Structure 1
Amino acid sequence: MLEPKAGFGHFSTNFEIFIAGGTQHGSFALNQVHSYDIKQDVWLKQPDLILPRRQPSICLFRNRYVYVFGGSQLKTKRELAQIQTMGQKEDSAGSDLNLDSDEGDDDAISAEVASDDSLFDDQ
């Protein structure tokens, strides 16, 4: 990882693992999102979550949309009822997946995965 953290949510695609939120040194919740490219063995920073979240649940739906559910704020211990959507889009090289942020949209991050990508193919 780019820096130590715990209590993050995660999901994976064929060649990448994404982690979102969590805590750092047990002192505050994070809004950071990072991806790990297993082919290139490199971590990349992705667009931040809108709200810092500790222990969020993350679901990849229809191999296209990512939903970040709940979690909590560390200092206030407030549990979150908000859901944030994130998506994936094939980049120009056609191999890596990147999260894209829509400018001016303060409640969602969205994009798409190419329709021929599958999470369950043994490639």
Structure 2
Amino acid sequence: MAELLHGEDPEPSDRYPAGPLFVPVRPGPSRCATRLFRTPLGGRTAVGFTSEHRLTATLGAHQGWIRLAEPALRALTAPLGVTTVTVNPQFAAPAPAPVRSPLPEPAPAPALRIG
């Protein structure tokens, strides 16, 4: 059996993808901030996509993004304790709904008079 060349390998042996990633961002005090996500087990992860199409298919057309190489993304998130980078996730849960103000406390029951 012929050994597959690196370019023909459907799952490349390299740990890092080639080329810059499309990284989702949100507005922040310094123009934009990298969005962080949770893995299915609850760990924090940075996310990058290999194409704009993959990003918009997963997160929607209105999601902002910047181009970053994976080492740069890791360098940005490492000070936050985030050491995992997920490339091309297939699913992202919607953002949680804003917390509504709690319902007003019920009025205390009137005191009973005995006697």
Q: Shorter-chain TM-score category?
A: under 0.3
Which structure has the greater CA radius of gyration? 2
Q: Which has the higher contact order (CA 8 A, sep 6+)?
A: 2
The structure with the greater share of residues assigned to helix is 2
Relative to the length of structure 2, the TM-score reads 0.25
The structure with the greater share of residues assigned to strand is 1
